[in-house]
């Protein structure tokens, strides 16, 4: 079977080269110095961006965001407790880092809607993602029958309701069959049904 150019690009990104002086290593060094939520000219992973709905036309932008990885910490409490009962270290967030990056990017660009996002790198401190944003009021988007669904009112702030691919995965909607009986229509709805 003949593989397309996007197929070869996707194969390279399955295990990116991060050796010393490699392009990816140099990118990560540069990205850490740059500001968060930086608008970029074009997607780094064009195969993944296209598969998630990106088009090189007006109304679409790509923003590179980052989020710190690792466990979360709470403030130290004043009362007397043994250290293991304090509950201040090794806290795991309920959402994955990709979803958190999408939500923070949406807050930074309030007039845009998040279409999707994909991973582009990780260093010792951050996970980096490129987020695809769409302007729902742009004439090029409103007049395009393939994407103008995002301009409808029910799709406002879709990222905050877990409607992106990362959000659906976090809600358990990517799983079917045995072991996934309690995730539809939602985990919360299934819990309230049993009461």
Residue in 164, 162, 165, 151 with CA at minimum distance from that of residue 185: 162
CATH code of the region 5-154: 3.40.1120.10
Question: Domains of the chain: which residue ranges?
Answer: 5-154
pLDDT at 195: 59
pLDDT band at 62; cut points 50, 70, 90 = very high
E strand or H helix that includes residue 128: strand 126-134
Structure tokens given for 124: 């010792």
Q: Kindly report the CA angle at 172 between 168 and 173, in degrees rounded to 5?
A: 55
pLDDT in tens, 78-137: 888 888 788 888 888 888 999 999 999 999 999 999 999 999 999 999 999 999 999 999
Q: Which residue has the tokens 């691919």?
A: 165
Which one is predicted more confidently, 98 or 1?
98
The pTM score is 0.88
């Amino acid at each position: 079977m003949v593989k397309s150019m996007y197929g070869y690009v996707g194969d390279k990104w399955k295990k990116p080269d991060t050796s010393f002086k490699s392009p990816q290593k140099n990118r990560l060094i540069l990205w850490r110095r740059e500001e968060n939520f930086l608008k970029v000219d074009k997607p780094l992973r064009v195969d993944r961006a296209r598969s998630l709905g990106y088009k090189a036309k007006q109304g679409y932008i790509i923003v590179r965001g980052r989020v710190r990885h690792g466990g979360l910490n709470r403030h130290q409490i004043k009362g007397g407790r043994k250290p293991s009962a304090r509950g201040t270290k090794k806290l795991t967030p309920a959402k994955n880092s990709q979803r958190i990056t999408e939500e923070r990017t949406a807050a930074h660009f309030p007039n845009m809607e998040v279409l999707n996002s994909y991973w582009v790198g990780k260093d010792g401190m951050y996970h980096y993602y490129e987020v695809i944003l769409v302007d729902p009021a742009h004439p090029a988007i409103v007049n395009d029958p393939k994407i103008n669904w995002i301009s409808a009112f029910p799709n406002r702030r879709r990222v905050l309701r877990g409607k992106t691919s990362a959000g659906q995965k976090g809600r358990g909607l990517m799983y079917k069959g045995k072991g996934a009986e309690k995730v539809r229509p939602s985990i919360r709805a299934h819990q309230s049904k049993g009461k």
